[in-house]
A and B are shown apart, each in its own frame.
Chain A
Amino acid sequence: MDPDLVLLLNGIVSGLLLGGLYAAAASGLAVAFGMLDIVNIAHPALMVTGAFTVVALGTWLGLDPLLVAVLQAPLYYLLGVGIYSAYHHFFEKRGEEALQGLAFFFGVMFIIEVGLVMVFGPEQRFLDPSYAYTTWRLGEIDLPLRMLVPGLFAMGCIGLLFLYLHRSFTGLAIAAVAQDAEALRLMAVNPVKIKRLAFGISIALASMAGGALVVVQPVEPSSGQVFIGRVFAICIMGGMASLPGCIMAALLFGVVENVTATFFGPSWSPAVAFGWLLLVLAFRPQGLFGKAA
């Protein structure tokens, strides 16, 4: 096969796998930021917290990181409920969620990072499952399980969330609260309760993304910083409240980054990927799967 074609195919495949990780990181934010309009800038830091607890629990129990991520998700759901309650009480209820709410989540992010250093130390932490050093080879295409398994795990989680949001009453209520909270109240549903539940789900997703992150790379307390720009860009490109849009945008982001890195050098990757974001927004301001106002 032509060497350039091999490079291109591998660039696309590795980009799709990378996109799987991005989708995991962005899906929780699609719920918080896209549906609830909460600019949770601490989302990547919460993902990294999830990764640290996965390492700690997985090392202690001797379990696979992805399994630990699922097992710990209810605790993170409760953490999300707590964070939203504080946010609602101090900011949203007073109508001060825009700027002060953003400052609140900035504060949460810094406290999380410092807290992780204090509890776990500043060193890199890792928990490699047995498959982390295995690579499947399909002809000229390489599929490292370090990237493939977390990507599939992310798709599974997002798929279940999609079903929940579209098949259950509570899920539909979450979609409704994103559109018109007052209308929901008229139907005798407490929008604050629904938002609390949805925010809990978004943080549970962050912790599961942390499990995926641990399989891909070691983590350190500041690991979340490289994801902040990307996850918000993916949410916006995907159409804010759309999970299929989030997946598509994440995969596109991954492919553009990796193909650019392959042929033009990695320095160009972020510029080209964010250039795509601008291009998409120029032609579809509502994002790939968003609905026009």
Chain B
Amino acid sequence: MQSISRRDFGRLALATAVAGAGASAGVFPALAQVANPIRIGMSMSLSGGLAGNGRAALAAQQIWAADVNAKGGLLGRPVQLVFYDDQTNGGQVPGIYTKLLDVDKVDLVTSPYATAMIAPAMPVVMQHQMCFVTILGAGVNTTFKYDRHFNMNVVGDNMKDTFAKGFLDIADTLATKPRSIAILAVDNDFAQRAAESARFLARQRNIRVVYDRSYPPSTVDFTPTMRAVQAARPDLIYIASYPPDSNGILRAASELRISAQMFGGGMVGPQLAAFQAQLGPILNNLVNWDIFSIEPTMNYPGVAEFLTKYREVAAREQTDVLGNYIPPYAYAQMQVVEQSVARVGRIDQAALAADMHRSEFNTIVGPVKFAESGEWAQDRNLYCQFQGITDGNLERYKAPGAKVILYPPSLKSGTLRTPYGTPA
């Protein structure tokens, strides 16, 4: 399979935009003259708000395709990725999947990152009765109940009962039992579900919710919000935020010298290299939801080799330089497809779905088994703590110790340090 350079990709996308080609400003990465390839189609956010994770995911999937082709392909055929940029616009996604399935006639489809882009693809995929392996969706199939949907996400199928459990289980180990919690969440599906879990589990444990608010994604300044959180004097602060906001929240917390026994929650952003480089020691003692950490307890076969390859590509493609968040899961997403196709021995959507329901998959993020709902049969929400961070040097994140795993107990690699921030 051939690949295009970032510059070529830019020229193509810009030319498409300038020409006003409309719906899908996308590209064929490779129309290589290969014999009867297995073509895997997907929409991916290569521009717009989710592009950071979208491009990182695509880079990982391209590494997978190169690895498979280097081994002789799948069922003796080379694999070829056909992808289009959805511009982080859910409205583009149904058109892209329609084109992939009706015009490009791809053999298999996988999903873009994440919930907001997966959900619009579902009706088209279901109409064509395709097997659909998605990445980091949150409860998408709760509504669709499609039996050929499989989601690579540690969250599992009971987010309310499990998502914040790790945070509160860790809080239970504090010397002084926490009595109050503040909850702040951005107005989007994932964060609201995370906040719902924290609220539900806190009440179960008789922890008083002293602040419980949402904020719109367009918020620019988090100083007044964090000051209001501070005024409520919570023992625990649980934030469910997205990348642009997580930075503002943590900087405001630092400027206001907010301190709590535990601070963190379901913040998306601190997992990424750009955040780690900028925020440096502000991350110290943050206890945050995660999906992967380079700790000995998660050193699954193949993951170290993958990260080495990814980091070579990432520098060139200007995407997340460490790849400690989405990329291993994007690679594992394709491993699920690969292993299932290899087992079934043909491209048969019904047989593939049956195999995925039945089988366990060995991936670079560990063994994966799907439940009837298509979510992971066993949730594996990680809660990690940044420790010993003195500056924005990213080298420390390439080795164990900077982001230790506190939960689940089976993967635990460090012990909790408290409090977060400077005590008032």
Contacts and interface: CB of A to CB of B under 8 A. Distances in A.
A binds B: yes
A137 B9 CA distance: 49
Contact of B319 (A111, A114, A122, A258): A122
Contacts of B218: 226, 229, 270
Contact of A147 (B46, B221, B256): B221
B219, B222, B224, B273 pick with most chain A CB within 10 angstroms: B224
A180 interface: no
Nearest to B251: A146
A270 B221 contact: no
B231 interface: yes
Nearest to B186: A266
Nearest to A133: B254
B234 interface: no
A124 B13 CA distance: 21
Interface string A250-261: 000010011101
B40 interface: no
Interface in B270-324: 272-275, 277-278, 317-320
A10 interface: yes
Interface in B31-78: 46-49, 51-52, 54-55
A14 to B, nearest CB: 4
B47 A113 contact: yes
Given A7-B228, A220-B244, A262-B224, A121 B216 contact: no
A140 to B, nearest CB: 11
A128 B220 contact: no
A218 B274 contact: yes
Contacts of A115: 10, 14
A98 interface: no
A124 B228 CA distance: 27
A258 B317 CA distance: 38
Nearest to B55: A122
Interface string A1-41: 00100010011001101100100000000000000000000
A222 interface: yes
Contacts of A207: none
A220 B221 contact: no
Contact of B52 (A123, A135, A142): A123
Contacts of A17: 221
A49 B319 CA distance: 19
A117 B46 contact: yes
B214 A14 contact: no
Nearest to B317: A121
A262 B255 CA distance: 16
B13 A118 contact: yes
A263 B187 CA distance: 18
B248 interface: yes
A146 B6 CA distance: 34
A120 interface: yes
A266 B220 contact: no
Interface residues of A, number: 54
Contacts of B122: none
Contacts of A144: 223, 255
Contacts of B215: 261, 265-267, 269
Contact of B231 (A7, A128, A257): A7
Given A21-B220, A226-B220, A262 B48 contact: no
Given A121-B318, A226-B218, A11 B213 contact: no
A124 B243 contact: yes
Contacts of A270: 216, 218
B175 interface: no
B224 A267 contact: no
A147 B248 CA distance: 12
A217 interface: yes
Interface residues of B, number: 54
Nearest to A117: B47
Interface string A186-230: 000000000000000000000000000000111011110011010
A126 interface: yes
A252 to B, nearest CB: 15
B231 A18 contact: no
B330 to A, nearest CB: 15
Given A222-B48, A270-B216, A124 B251 contact: no
Nearest to B254: A133
Contacts of B55: 121-122
B225 A261 contact: yes
Contact of B214 (A147, A254, A267): A267
Nearest to B187: A267
Interface string B237-262: 00000011001100100111000000
Contact of A126 (B243, B278, B320): B278
Contacts of A135: 255
Contacts of B13: 114, 118
Interface in A224-238: 226-227, 229
A113 to B, nearest CB: 7
A99 interface: no
A162 interface: no
A221 B13 CA distance: 15
Of the listed residues B220, B244, B278, the one surrounded by the most CB atoms of chain A closer than 10 A to its CB is: B220
Contact of B17 (A11, A111, A266): A111
Given A7-B228, A114-B47, A122-B52, A267 B223 contact: no
A291 B319 CA distance: 50
Contacts of A138: none
Given A146-B255, A258-B221, A123 B46 contact: no
Contacts of A111: 14, 17-18
Interface of B: 6-7, 9-10, 13-14, 17-18, 20, 25, 46-49, 51-52, 54-55, 88, 187, 213-225, 227-228, 231, 243-244, 247-248, 251, 254-256, 272-275, 277-278, 317-320
6 contacts: A11-B224, A15-B224, A117-B47, A118-B9, A126-B278, A222-B49
3 closest Cβ pairs, A-B complex:
A121-B318, A122-B51, A118-B10
Given A21-B220, A114-B13, A222-B48, 18 more contacts: A3-B231, A7-B227, A7-B231, A114-B14, A120-B318, A121-B55, A123-B274, A124-B52, A217-B247, A218-B247, A218-B278, A222-B88, A226-B218, A229-B218, A258-B221, A261-B221, A265-B228, A269-B219
